[in-house]
Structure 1
Amino acid sequence: MPTKVKITSVVIVVGMSAMLAAVVTDHWAVLSPRVEKLNATCEAAHFGLWRLCKKTIFIVEEDPQGKGCGPINLPGACSFFFYCSLYSESNVIAWHAGTEYNISAAAIAIFSLFFMIMGTLCVVFSFGKGRDYLLRPAGMFFAFAGLCIIISVEVMRQSVKRMIDSDETIWIEYYYSWSFTCACASFTLLILSGVALLLISMPHMPRNPWETCMDAEPDTLD
């Protein structure tokens, strides 16, 4: 059993790393207006659970991938969603369109982090003698963490859709970036790890029906 737990722990570490990368970065989705002419500026944005970064980019040539305004890796101005107003020259772009969704997704991600911490503590303490029973709650905690992160992913998808559909924003094109991929990968790894720990912690089932009878104490005759 320790070998199975160690292998599962490695998968858990990878899943936790992917989740932490998704939570602390701002590249869940990239938004951009439709580029209709060259030698002009466009306003692109990328955002994560906590803040949105808006960038004004001068377009010299068309994007071969057809993703509109770019490249998005240039420096720009970032604003946390709790202070959700960004200024573009004389116009004010209101962020009521998706702010509540992002705050909800961030709150759900915090629950996922809590479940991950609890699961990690249970796995660490389970390596002690006679503490295999801690693997069962550890599996449940990691499964709950995976469920929370996928719920957060879905909330972010709704946030992107609302921003794109809103008349208050200028963006009409979008694509999901590497932070979004990390969140989806962490969901898969944490769910599989949680199920694996639950299966490992299950009591041994007899291979043959008579094993239980053979292990039973013999009856004594009075």
Structure 2
Amino acid sequence: MLEDKRTKVKVTFFVILVGISAMFTAVVTDHWAVLSPRVEQLNATCEAAHFGLWRLCKKTIFITAEESKGKGCGPISLPGDQNCSYFKHFTPGQDAEVFEVKTQKEYNISAAAIAIFSLAFMILGTLCILASFGKGRDYLLKPGGMFFVFAGLCTIISVEVMRQSVKRMIDSDETIWIEYYYSWSFACACSAFVLLFLSGIALLVISMPQMPRNPWETCMDAEPEPIE
């Protein structure tokens, strides 16, 4: 690999590592969205919730501010007792009725499965890049770039599935939630999509053969034809 190309690959790989870290953080944390029910009365408790791909956390918050009445419970940063449980469809026996009964659990399962595919593509792409630094293995940059493009696409699909899940849950008459917002885990996933997808495209561009600066270079580099 030429030194100039090697430097470009190293810079791109650093950006990819940042994207992988962001996606891994999004997958293992449970702050994709925060849900709030309506506050009915003061000097009482309300139960807000935040969730990720694997579990739901409910937090009991004591409300004393008068302006909070009739609005959503929270913010989630207020002190209170928190109880987290993995979704029932992932760990049978655990209590997660809010997601098991009142929302489409298929959405959550799909989002988690697609996120796992994204992680698998990241591992394959990383192996291709590391192997490409070997002598005469530049050809591995192209499949590596494709793997990271696929990883980025899987990430944004997982984000959209989760967004649709939250939207349908808020719109449902069977749920108590009236307010929601996306939190930092969701932002990590969106950032991972941008970094991985663009880095994958960059690797594909880097792996392309260098075009001559002008048509005469091709003619000058050609071997002379033998004179009969």
User: How do 1:28-67 and structure 2 match up within 5 A?
Assistant: 28-61=32-65
Of the three residues 29, 36, 42, the one matched with 1:25 is 29
* Residues 37 and 177, structure 2, Cα contact 8 Å, conserved in 1: yes
Alpha-carbon separation, structure 1, partners of 2:71 and 2:224: 76
Question: Alpha-carbon deviation of 1:108?
Answer: 0.3
Are the aligned partners of 1:98 and 1:160 in contact in 2 as well (CA < 8 Å)? Answer: no
**Match of 2:112?**
106
Say if 1:62 and 1:187 are closer, same or farther in 2 by CA, change over 3 A. farther
* AA matched with 2:210: H
Partner of 2:19: 15
1: distance between equivalents of 2:166 and 2:208? 42
Match in the other structure for 1:145: 151
How many pairs are equivalent? Answer: 217
Q: 1:210 to 1:93 in 2, by over 3 A?
A: closer
Alpha-carbon contact 1:18-1:186 (below 8 Å) kept: yes
Within 5 A, what are the aligned runs for 1:1-222?
1-61=5-65, 68-73=72-77, 74-81=80-87, 82=89, 83=92, 85-86=95-96, 95-222=101-228
CA distance in structure 1 between the partners assigned to 2:67 and 2:149 by the alignment: 40
1:38 to partner: Cα distance = 2.1
Between the aligned partners of 1:63 and 1:135, the Cα distance in structure 2 is 57
Q: Indicate the larger mover: 5-14 or 32-41.
A: 32-41
Q: Do the aligned partners of 2:61 and 2:81 also contact (CA within 8 Å) in 1? A: no
| TM-score in terms of structure 1 length | 0.91
For 1:131 and 1:72, locate their aligned partners in 2 and report how far apart those are by CA, in whole Å: 51
Deviation of 1:216 (Å): 0.9
Q: Give the TM-score, by structure 2 length.
A: 0.88
Contact 1:67 1:174 in 2 (8 A): no
Distance (whole Å) between structure 2 residues aligned to residue 126 and residue 63 of structure 1: 60
Partners of 2:161 and 2:66 in 1: CA distance: 32
Q: Which runs of 5+ in 1 are unaligned?
A: none
Residue 220 and residue 104 in structure 1: after superposition, are their counterparts in 2 closer, same or farther (change >3 A)? same
Q: How many angstroms does 1:85 deviate by?
A: 4.2
CA distance in 2, matches of 1:63, 1:203: 64
- Structure 2 counterpart SS, 1:79: strand
Structure 2 portions without partners, runs of 5+: none
Paired with 1:102 and 1:93, the residues of 2 have a C-alpha distance of 9
Aligned counterparts of 2:67 and 2:138: Cα–Cα separation in 1: 55
C-alpha root-mean-square deviation of aligned residues, in Å?
2.1
